[in-house]
Structure formats: structure tokens, C-alpha cells
Amino acid sequence: MNIIHTKDYNNMSRKAAQYLLDKIKHKPDMTLGLATGGTPVKFYDYLVRDHQQQDTSYKNITTFNLDEYIGLDPKDTNSYHYYMNKHLFQQIDIPQEQTFIPNGLADNLLEECRQYEQTIDHHGGMDLQILGLGGNGHIGFNEPGTSFNQETHIVELAESTRQANARFFQDLNKVPTQAITMGIASIMKSKEILLLVSGEQKKEALHLLINGEVSTEFPASILKKHPHVTIIADEKALADIHSSYYA
Ligand code: PGA
């Protein structure tokens, strides 16, 4: 895993955007895996700013989001559909039919999972997957204990995840208890992975990822087995990592 040190959240976000824009320049029709949550918000801001100023086009890009809550309407302001439209899709030139997010309101959720994975495979998997890191080591909504062999599936959200995400809802009771998520196996199919980590609240998780064993109890640890992972992290998240580990 290649680790890039940045000064703060803003610098992490800018560096990550530059990293992706460079990839898009080389492959304007790439298939891109996207993440939601607090971490990538500014990264998306930088992509939008670049689109407005430099005219980078997303007309030939296809995107797959990692996950979506079960039971939330795409118009619900807490759904990841809403998040993606607001922070990225409505502000760039990507055709909506090239943006894929699991449907958390599907009548047949198992079938939705199966079709989502099939669509990913049909596109040959992701060229680059953007990831955030959960405080408990989750990637996507793959909570501790999830098998590394899982593809897109339904998950029960860990209590710590619901609590961490309650900041976006009116209260904890409104946070859904289930989600559809790409599995670890879906994520590992990506040719390349870019993990963004920011803030003191992630320093323990980042330390475990870099220094711990590969274990389903810490899902992100599987990334050590992937041949092409880049971590862009800020100083606070890297506080417990020896500087010999990063550039
Ligand atoms: P966050 O979430 O970006 O809101 O901290 C990351 C994650 O849980 O994957």
C-alpha cells in the first residue's frame, strides 16, 4: 500500500481530486467506484470546481456507488442517491444512466443485489474504487465479521456505524438499520483502490489497518492483499504511523 501524507482535510481532498483527474485524463471512459459519507465531500467539491474551470468531461465515465440505506427514498436528503446528486452528479456532465447506486427500495432486495453485482461485472469491474474508512474498519458497509468472499449483499448496520452516521439524521432512531453494500469481493475486483482517511477520529483505525493482521474483524485489512492501493491521509489520521511508512 502506497501512503501519501497530506497536511489537513483540505489538502487530502485536493490531492485525491488531482489523483483521480490524472486517471481520467488517461482513461476518459473509466469505470469509477464512488463513496459517500463525510470524508469525500470536499474531494467532490474539487472535482466540481475542476469541471467548471477546466472542463473535464464525465460523459464517458460510468460510476458505481458502494452502498445505499434500505428503506430510504432517493429523494430523502439522507439517502446516498440524494448525496451523490447534490455533491457531484448534478454538477458535472455525467449522463444519469451511467451512474449506478443500489436501490434500497427494491421490492426484491436480494435480486437487486444480484443485478447490481452483475452490472458491475458487465462493465468489467471498476478501474478505480474510492473508499472511506469506518472507525471500526468497515469499507462500504462491510461491518466487522463480514466474509471476504461476499459480493453485493444486505447488511445489518453495526450500532457504532449508526451512531457515527446519526450526525446526518435528526436522531439515532431515524438511522436505518440495514443497507445494501458492495461486498469485500466486489471491492477487491477493482483494478485500483484509493482510500481517503482524515481526522483524529480515524487514527486508531488507520493504525490498525497499517500495522494489524488481515482479519475479517477489521474488514479494511483485506486491502493489504490488493496489488494496487493508495492511501491519501492527513496528518491527524497519520498521527500514530511512523513517517518511514509514507511519502
Ligand atoms: P465518514 O465515513 O467519511 O463519514 O467518516 C467513512 C465510512 O464510514 O466509510
Q: What is the pLDDT of residue 247?
A: 81
**Regarding beta strands 153-156 and 178-181, do their DSSP bridges make them parallel or antiparallel, or are they unpaired?**
antiparallel
Nearest Cα residue to atom 7 of ligand 1? 134
Which CATH fold would you assign to the domain 2-137+227-232? Rossmann fold (3.40.50)
Query: 138: CA distance to ligand 1 center in Å?
Result: 9
Each residue of 150-175: pLDDT tens digit? 999 999 999 999 999 999 998 999 99
Kindly give the parts of the chain with pLDDT less than 70: none
Q: What is the pLDDT of residue 160?
A: 94
Does 140 sit in the ligand 1 pocket, CB within 6 Å?
no
User: In the numeric block, which cell numbers belong to residue 20?
Assistant: 483521480
Distance from C-alpha of 236 to C-alpha of 180, rounded to nearest angstrom: 31
Query: 9: CA distance to ligand 1 center in Å?
Result: 13
Please tell me whether residue 32 adopts helix, strand or coil conformation: strand
Query: 10: CA distance to ligand 1 center in Å?
Result: 16
DSSP letters along 130-174, please? Answer: EEE--TTS-BTTB-TT--TT--SEEEEPPHHHHHHHGGGSSSGGG
Domain spans of the chain?
Answer: 2-137+227-232
Query: 39: CA distance to ligand 1 center in Å?
Result: 6
Q: Are 190 and 127 in contact (CB under 8 A)?
A: yes
Q: What is the pTM of this model?
A: 0.97
Whether 138 sits among the annotated catalytic residues: the reply is yes
**CA neighbor of 47 nearest in space, from 75, 23, 29:** 23
Nearest Cα residue to atom 2 of ligand 1? 37
The catalytic position among 5, 51, 67, 234 is: 67
Whether 67 sits among the annotated catalytic residues: the reply is yes
Does 39 sit in the ligand 1 pocket, CB within 6 Å?
yes
Distance from C-alpha of 67 to C-alpha of 79, rounded to nearest angstrom: 10
User: In the numeric block, which cell numbers belong to residue 14?
Assistant: 485536493
Give the H or E element holding residue 181: strand 178-181
The catalytic position among 117, 127, 143, 151 is: 143
Q: What is the pLDDT of residue 166?
A: 95
The catalytic position among 65, 136, 142, 165 is: 136
Q: Are 65 and 84 in contact (CB under 8 A)?
A: yes
**CA neighbor of 119 nearest in space, from 101, 106, 137:** 101
